[in-house]
Amino acid sequence: MSAIGQDPVNVDPDHYKVEFENDRVRVLRISYGPREISVMHGHPASLAVFLTDQQVKFTYPDGKTEEVRAEAGQTLAFSEMEHLPENLSDKPLELILVELK
């Protein structure tokens, strides 16, 4: 786990579930209902595989925000980050996040 932020599995277990873990990666299943919001937490460098279309707002510790849109089947790489995600859609979202150790 990253040195920044709290572990999302510990601080938001309703949305984050460990599917697999070894000494090199941790694979999370992330599921949010419509308009659900998380708490501030961190991730190391990661690879996201989107299982549903998504429109999410990330709020960062400095108060800045960013909207991220992705389509089902799309894959994106993310640098280490600390954020508070919010599902902006009226539909559930689901993705697999592969965190690099």
Q: Where are the domains of the chain?
A: 8-100
Tally of CB atoms within 10 A around 14: 10
Beta carbons of 8 and 84 less than 8 angstroms apart: no
| Token digits of residue 15 | 């949305």
Short-list 57, 19, 61, 12, CA closest to 38: 12
Kindly tell me if the per-residue pLDDT of 43 is higher than 90: yes
pLDDT for the residue 74: 98
The residue-averaged pLDDT of 65-84 equals 97
Element (DSSP H or E) covering residue 47? strand 46-50
pLDDT for the residue 5: 85
Domain 8-100: which CATH class?
mainly beta
pLDDT for the residue 87: 98
pTM of the entire structure? 0.93
